[in-house]
């Protein structure tokens, strides 16, 4: 059985869902659900995806490998184990610790493989102390991901960078569409949750964009001081309006959750403290009440609970919520694979 040829894709890479038209995202969601229902063609037979992991990974690693296998191709995993030393700066004299320039790495891998997938998020790997020298302005450049995209001659997929985690966003969109069918007018609450360490905001950025693209009434709830990047918020606001939805910010978790159809929890580090994580840790220490529990879920409109995983039980969310029929975190994790199958079948089979 052949996949329909109606799933066009306008971008050479998949770095951020906001690079796509909303119609293209809808087509990917529909294809993912069709694939999940058994309409699978092994469309990538003989094709190879190189997956470069600069960070540890469980769901992303396995879901991409399985997605390629189900489509008849293969994923070739390349893990760093802290031994890579690539150079990304232009016009540099490489007489230091770097041993190979991305200008050679990316095009060579492009000759071997049909696509490259990159996971490189500084806060995922680095401790708060070792990550403290960088600024958000520097991290926001996503030098590793964008360098591979610049010099590769095959499609590059973002498996999570400093700024975005578009595969998580796409997988969440598939899950929400699967749960509700019609998503416009549904209330989606993305709430900050306490965590003992500062985490990247890439997942939150992409989950927010996904809900905005679905035409949902989106509320981002977080303590004061944990505001998201204003440029990314502006893009999300624009896309929410385009899809017939809305985007609001709340500093009151209880108020935000009232009447929600979806409550999605995720922690992230505070931008004002970026690079000063000890001070950020001290500031967040008084926010342990930012947890999703049964009492808060009772305020929803029979709402479902989402989390990208891994999740800290009884820290970000109580086990009573996680283990209840309100939780769809396992469906959400599974749908990463189907979403990525749709993406790979579309991007690598053009």
Sketch the domain layout of the chain as residue ranges.
Answer: 13-164+334-349, 172-328
Same fold: 13-164+334-349 with 172-328: yes
125-129 long-range CB contacts below 8 Å, 24 or more apart? Answer: 125/54, 125/55, 125/56, 128/197, 128/198, 128/277, 128/278, 128/280, 128/281, 129/277, 129/278
Distance separating alpha carbons of residues 182 and 134, to the nearest angstrom: 42
User: Which residues, including other chains, have CB under 8 Å from residue 139's CB and lie 6 or more apart?
Assistant: 122, 162, 163, 274
What fold, for 13-164+334-349?
Rossmann fold (3.40.50)
Q: Give the Cα separation of 129 and 142 in Å (integer).
A: 20
37 C-beta neighbours (distance < 10 Å), count: 9
Q: How far apart are CA 11 and CA 9, in angstroms?
A: 6
Q: How many CB atoms lie within 10 A of CB 89?
A: 12
CA-wise closest residue to 197 among 131, 268, 136: 268
Burial profile 300-335: b = 16 or more Cβ within 10 angstroms, e = fewer: beebbbbbbeebeeeebbbeebbeeebbbbeebbbb
List the CATH code of the domain at 172-328.
Answer: 3.40.50.1370
Distance CA 327, CA 304 (A): 6
Q: Is 165 exposed, middle or buried (0-12, 13-18, 19+ CB in 10 A)?
A: buried
CA–CA distance, 318 with 322 (Å, rounded to integer): 6
Is 350 exposed, middle or buried, given 0-12, 13-18 or 19+ CB atoms closer than 10 A?
exposed
320/307 Cα distance (integer angstroms) = 14
Strand 187-192 to 74-79 pairing: unpaired
User: From first to last of its 350 residues, what are the pLDDT tens digits of the chain?
Assistant: 333 444 556 789 999 999 999 999 999 999 999 999 998 676 899 999 999 999 889 999 999 999 999 999 999 998 766 567 899 999 999 999 999 999 999 999 999 999 999 999 987 555 433 334 579 999 999 999 999 999 999 999 999 999 999 999 999 999 999 999 999 999 999 999 999 999 999 999 999 999 999 999 999 999 999 999 999 999 999 999 999 999 999 999 999 999 999 999 999 999 999 989 999 999 999 999 999 999 999 999 999 999 999 999 999 999 999 999 999 999 999 999 999 999 999 999 87
* Beta-bridge partners for 223: none
Beta bridge partners of 305: 263, 327
Considering Cα of 220, then 225, then 229, then 230, what sign does the dihedral take? positive
């Amino acid at each position: 059985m052949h996949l329909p040829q109606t799933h066009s894709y306008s971008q050479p890479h998949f770095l951020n869902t906001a690079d796509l038209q909303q119609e293209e995202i809808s087509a990917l969601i529909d294809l993912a659900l069709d694939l999940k229902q058994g309409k699978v063609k092994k469309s990538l037979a003989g094709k190879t995806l190189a997956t470069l992991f600069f960070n540890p990974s469980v769901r992303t690693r396995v879901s991409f490998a399985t997605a390629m296998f189900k489509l008849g191709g293969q994923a070739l995993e390349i893990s760093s184990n802290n031994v890579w030393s690539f150079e990304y700066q232009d016009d540099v004299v490489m007489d230091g610790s770097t041993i190979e320039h991305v200008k050679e790495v990316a095009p060579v891998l492009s000759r071997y493989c049909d696509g490259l997938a990159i996971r490189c998020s500084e806060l995922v790997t680095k401790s708060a102390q070792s990550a403290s020298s960088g600024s958000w302005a520097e991290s926001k450049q996503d030098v590793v991901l964008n360098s591979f995209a610049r010099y590769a001659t095959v499609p590059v997929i973002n498996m999570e960078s400093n700024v975005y985690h578009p595969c998580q966003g796409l997988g969440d969109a598939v899950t929400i569409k699967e749960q509700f069918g019609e998503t416009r007018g549904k209330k989606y609450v993305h709430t900050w949750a306490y965590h003992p360490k500062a985490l990247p905001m890439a997942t939150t950025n992409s989950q927010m964009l996904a809900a905005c693209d679905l035409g949902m009434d989106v509320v981002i709830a977080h303590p004061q001081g944990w505001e998201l990047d204003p440029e990314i918020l502006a893009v999300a606001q624009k896309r929410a309006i385009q899809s017939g939805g809305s985007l609001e910010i709340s500093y009151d978790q209880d108020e935000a959750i009232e009447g929600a159809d979806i409550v999605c929890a995720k922690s992230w580090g505070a931008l004002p403290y970026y690079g000063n994580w000890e001070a950020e840790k001290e500031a967040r220490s008084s926010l342990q009440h930012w947890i999703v529990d049964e009492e808060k879920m009772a305020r929803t409109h029979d709402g479902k609970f989402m989390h990208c995983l891994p999740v800290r039980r009884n820290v970000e969310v109580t086990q009573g919520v996680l283990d209840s029929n309100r939780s769809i975190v396992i469906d959400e994790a599974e749908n990463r694979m189907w979403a990525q199958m749709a993406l790979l079948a579309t991007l690598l089979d053009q």
